[in-house]
Structure formats: structure tokens, C-alpha cells
């Protein structure tokens, strides 16, 4: 039974004690983060003090929200459905437009850098513009109504879905693409047989996620006159009818929850 002891002794002699690396960098990182937070707070005068002084105000607002004015439900049901319909149209069209652009952007499929780089630039530009600004622009161009809101969501969804999808395409397994090249497939066939089966679940998942975001966004688009529930929300807030605003918020919550539940089921089926 002596052998194991001597073995471990020899091992120890051969390998001197390892000193774990010091965590200076990690500590420094935390310090920098805290310093940045404090600096931002001081520069913008956004401090916890305001939170404390504002809390009573918040309490009275919440009190005014309850009980919600349930009778208002019948008035908002129509506009709420319009909001969901705007979101469905906007997300679908934006998602369809995103497919070719995502294929152009993906560096592993790109015909040349002179195509993929400009395509990415355009994508970045579109994502810089907030959805409310899009809505305001389209209201100015196409007039007040749901069409402007829908168009805003097309651009907004297009930006998100194209960006996420092209990144998913870049991460796919290159093996099947090589196999399709080897069987003599042309570019479209390569995409259909090598890329689509791998990227489709991700695309669908992003589409559903964007739809969820869009329902919430569509609820706000009405603020600039782009149709949907936002107009009523704006009116309720303007008239200090917080009991009505709370009904709108609760209904939006219910719809978002239903969509979330549905999309979770669909996503699980796809992956």
C-alpha cells in the first residue's frame, strides 16, 4: 500500500503548487462599473432621492387606477383587435422582407463583400430609427390611420428579424452547404436544402418574438395617430381617467400573455 503514497509524492515533486491567478482585473471591472453608474447619476441628476419623493405620487396614481372602469372594455375591444391586426400584418410583411436581406447579409453566403456590407449598413440605419419616429413619418406621408402604423411596424420588424436571422445563418453548420456544393447544387438550391432547414426554426422564433414586441409597440403607435388602441390610451391619460387607462393596460397584458403562451408552444414544436 506504499506505492500510491510515493506516487503522489513524486507527482507533487514534478508539479510545483499552482498559484491561482489573482482577480485584480475582475475587481477593477466592478469598480469601473460602479464609478460609471455614479458619474451618470450625478451628471443627469437622476438620483434615488427623486424616487423617494415621487413614491407618494405613484401611490395616489395607483389608487386612481383602481377599481378599473370595466364598462370601458366594450369600447376598447374594437381598437384593441385593430392593434393586434396591425401587428400581424406588420410582422408578417417585415419578416418576409427580412428573408432576402438576411441572406444577402450573411457572410458565409455572401456573393461579395460589396453586397453584404452595404446591406448591413442599411439594416443598421433602419434599426437606428425608433418605431414611433417611423410612425410619425408615415402618418405625415399617408395620413392618420392604421396604414401608417402597419408600415411603421413593417420597417421595425424588418430591422430586428433581418439582423437576428442573418446572425443565425452565420452560425449554421457549414457541412450541409459543402455537401450541397459537392452534389452540384446551384446557389438557390444550396440555400433551400442547406440553409433553410437549419435557419428556419430560428427565423420563426424571431418572428414570433417580434410579433409580441409589435403588439406592445402598436399600442403606443396610436399616440402619433397611427391607429389602434394608442389613441384611446392617449385620451384616457389626457382626461386623467386612470381607471380607463388601467383597463387598457390590463387588456394589453392579457393579449401579450396569450401570444406569449401560443408562441412558446409553437417554438417548442419547431425546435
Partner 1 sequence: MAVLFPITDNAENLPFRNPLQKVGPFMIEFDKVSKVYPNGTVGLRNINLTINEGELVVIVGLSGAGKSTFLRSINRLTDISTGEIRVNGNSVTHASGSQLRHIRRDIGMIFQSFNLIKRSTVMRNVLSGRVGYHSTLRTMLGWFPKEDVDLSLDALQRVNIREKAYIRADQLSGGQQQRVSIARALAQEARVILADEPVASLDPLTTRQVMDDLKRINRDMNITTVINLHFIDLAREYATRIIGLRAGEVVFDGTPAEATDEAFAEIYGRPVLQDELLGGA
Which residues would be at the binding site for partner 1 (CB under 8 A)?
173, 175-176, 178-186, 188-189, 192-194, 197-198, 201
Instruction: Report the nearest approach of partner 1 to the CB of residue 202 (Å).
Output: 12
Q: What's the min distance (Å) between Cβ of 172 and partner 1?
A: 10
Q: How far is the CB of 271 from partner 1 (least distance, A)?
A: 9
Question: CB of 219 within 8 A of CB of 229?
Answer: yes
* Cβ 89 vs Cβ 150: under 8 Å: yes
Task: Compute the distance between CA of residue 193 and CA of residue 4 in angstroms, rounded to an integer.
Answer: 58
Beta carbon of residue 193, minimum distance to partner 1 (angstroms, whole number): 5
Torsion-angle region of residue 106: left (phi > 0), alpha (psi -120 to 50) or beta? beta
Closest CA to 102 of 1, 226, 182, 195: 195
Please say which residue, 144 or 196, places its beta carbon nearer to partner 1: 196
CB nearer partner 1, residue 64 or residue 178? 178
Query: Given the complex with partner 1, which of 23 and 187 has the nearer CB atom?
Result: 187
Could you tell me which of 254, 252, 244 has the C-alpha nearest to residue 65?
244
Beta carbon of residue 264, minimum distance to partner 1 (angstroms, whole number): 20
CA–CA gap between residue 139 and residue 143 (Å, rounded): 5
- What b/e sequence results for 111-139 when a residue is b if at least 16 CB atoms lie within 10 Å of its CB, and e otherwise? eeeeebeebbeebeebeeeebbebbbbbb
Q: Exposed, middle or buried: residue 31 (CB in 10 Å: 0-12, 13-18, 19+)? A: exposed
Residue whose CB is less far from partner 1, 100 or 175: 175
Output 177 or 220, the one with its CB closest to partner 1.
Answer: 177
Closest separation in Å from C-beta 127 to partner 1: 29
Q: Which CB, 145 or 201, lies closer to partner 1?
A: 201
Amino acid at each position: 500500500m506504499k506505492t500510491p503514497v510515493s506516487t503522489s509524492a513524486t507527482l507533487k515533486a514534478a508539479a510545483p503548487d499552482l498559484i491561482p491567478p489573482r482577480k485584480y482585473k475582475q475587481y477593477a471591472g466592478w469598480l469601473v462599473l460602479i464609478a460609471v453608474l455614479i458619474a451618470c447619476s450625478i451628471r443627469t441628476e437622476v438620483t434615488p432621492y427623486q424616487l423617494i419623493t415621487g413614491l407618494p405620487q405613484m401611490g395616489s396614481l395607483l389608487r386612481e387606477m383602481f377599481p378599473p372602469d370595466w364598462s370601458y372594455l366594450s369600447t376598447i375591444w374594437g381598437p384593441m383587435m385593430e392593434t393586434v391586426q396591425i401587428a400581424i400584418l406588420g410582422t408578417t410583411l417585415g419578416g418576409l422582407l427580412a428573408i432576402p436581406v438576411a441572406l444577402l447579409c450573411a457572410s458565409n453566403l455572401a456573393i461579395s463583400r460589396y453586397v453584404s456590407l452595404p446591406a448591413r449598413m442599411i439594416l443598421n440605419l433602419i434599426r437606428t430609427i425608433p418605431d414611433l419616429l417611423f410612425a410619425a413619418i408615415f402618418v405625415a406621408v399617408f395620413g392618420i390611420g392604421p396604414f401608417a402604423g402597419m408600415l411603421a411596424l413593417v420597417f421595425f420588424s424588418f430591422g430586428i428579424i433581418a439582423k437576428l436571422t442573418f446572425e443565425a445563418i452565420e452560425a449554421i453548420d457549414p457541412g450541409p452547404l459543402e455537401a450541397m456544393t459537392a452534389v452540384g447544387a446551384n446557389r438557390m438550391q444550396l440555400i433551400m436544402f442547406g440553409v433553410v432547414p437549419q435557419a428556419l426554426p430560428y427565423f420563426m422564433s424571431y418572428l414570433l418574438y417580434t410579433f409580441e414586441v409589435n403588439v406592445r409597440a402598436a399600442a403606443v403607435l396610436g399616440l402619433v395617430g397611427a391607429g389602434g388602441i394608442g389613441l384611446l390610451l392617449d385620451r384616457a391619460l389626457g382626461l386623467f381617467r386612470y381607471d380607463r387607462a388601467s383597463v387598457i393596460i390590463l387588456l394589453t397584458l392579457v393579449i401579450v400573455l396569450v401570444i406569449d403562451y401560443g408562441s412558446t408552444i409553437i417554438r417548442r414544436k419547431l425546435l
